Amino acid sequence: MTAVDVAGQGVEQDSSRLLESSQMLSYDPMTEIDWDSPLPADQYGLNPEWSTLYGTPLWDELTEQQRITLTRHEVCSIMSTGIWFEMILQQMILRDQYVKNPANSEFQFALTEIADECRHSIMFARICQKLEVPAYFPPKLVVELARLFKSTAGGEVAYGGTLVAEEVLDVMQRDWMRGENVLDVVRTSSKIHVLEESRHMKFAREEIKEHIKGKNKLQRHFSAALIAVVAYVIVSSLVNPRAYKAVGIQPRRGLAAAQANEHRKSMLRNACAGLMGFLDEAGLLTPPAVALYKRVHMI
């Protein structure tokens, strides 16, 4: 048996275990979340510490109710961005699995992941609807460039972009699900997402390791740069500046405060520590990639 055969067998075994896990531990957001319960006026959309303005003079200027309103808009902005990227992710996975053997666990888990992502997107959409927050999307140029990315990206780049989005949100939501002053719909949805995304992240890591094998230095550097670009776009698009208007802050002023916020920079670096360690092990943390990660404070 060749090294390639052994590696392929390993991916199949991992996929089989993930498939079994998904059959035993999955949730239906439509029944797990109490969609009819009223929203307590004194509960945040996310832990205050995760607000982009927390720790800034602007945050100090806000009343308690304004802070609550801001975090609700921020969490819905993050969820809207999540929906946007999950739609990109689904298309990339479908292309990667096109005409592959449907009897393989890898193929079956890939489709299971797509089904999970569909449910997550509906869950996020319903939360934004319940909170009566408008849809927040990345800038139009980013949206249009993403059309090209989702139609052409494959291999370690596709799964690397997937992993970036999932890892960053995972760390945030692990805090949200434990936040006693966070809305129950956000806490429960975070619990569901964290549990199911843990399988997706494992799958993405294995796919990245499988796809990166045999790539030469130039190919590896190119993939590392593309993944870093995707990470830059995702992290910088999480909270739309228009969210600040909900509490009377001009978007440019709010964005400037968020970008200079040392507390937020520290939170992001801590959230990305595990991701950066994995990318380094995979040979995808090249100097140009590191420079981009530093610009959005992921390192």
For residue 142, being part of any structural domain is answered with yes
Residue type, 17: R
For residue 13, being part of any structural domain is answered with no
Model pLDDT, residue 9: 65
For residue 42, being part of any structural domain is answered with no
Mean pLDDT over residues 54-80, rounded? Answer: 98
Say if CB 74 and CB 255 are below 8 A apart.
no
Model pLDDT, residue 8: 56
Mean pLDDT over residues 44-48, rounded? Answer: 98
- What is the pTM assigned to this prediction? 0.91
For residue 189, name the pLDDT band (cuts at 50, 70, 90): very high
Model pLDDT, residue 14: 82
Q: Inform me whether the pLDDT recorded for 68 exceeds 90.
A: yes
For residue 279, being part of any structural domain is answered with yes
Q: Inform me whether the pLDDT recorded for 280 exceeds 90.
A: yes
Mean pLDDT over residues 48-60, rounded? Answer: 97
Mean pLDDT over residues 221-233, rounded? Answer: 95
Classify the C-alpha dihedral 284-290-291-292 as positive or negative. Answer: positive
Mean pLDDT over residues 108-133, rounded? Answer: 94
For residue 97, name the pLDDT band (cuts at 50, 70, 90): confident
Q: Inform me whether the pLDDT recorded for 3 exceeds 60.
A: no
For residue 224, being part of any structural domain is answered with yes
Which ranges of the chain would DSSP assign to H, the alpha helix? 3-24, 29-32, 57-61, 64-96, 105-130, 140-152, 155-176, 184-212, 217-237, 251-259, 262-271, 273-281, 287-295
Mean pLDDT over residues 153-169, rounded? Answer: 90
For residue 5, being part of any structural domain is answered with no
In angstroms, the CA 75 to CA 81 distance is 10
Q: What residues does 182 pair with on adjacent strands?
A: 44
Model pLDDT, residue 1: 43
Q: Inform me whether the pLDDT recorded for 57 exceeds 80.
A: yes
Q: Inform me whether the pLDDT recorded for 187 exceeds 90.
A: yes
The CATH number of residue 275's host domain is 1.10.620.20
Domain count, the chain: 1
In angstroms, the CA 53 to CA 42 distance is 19
Q: What is the DSSP string of 229-247?
A: HHHHHHHHHSS-GGGGGGG
Model pLDDT, residue 2: 43
For residue 166, being part of any structural domain is answered with yes
Structural domain that includes position 233: 48-296
Q: Inform me whether the pLDDT recorded for 7 exceeds 60.
A: no
- Quote the mean pLDDT of the chain: 92
For residue 12, being part of any structural domain is answered with no
Model pLDDT, residue 162: 87
* Structure-block tokens of residue 169: 């949100």
Say if CB 85 and CB 142 are below 8 A apart.
no
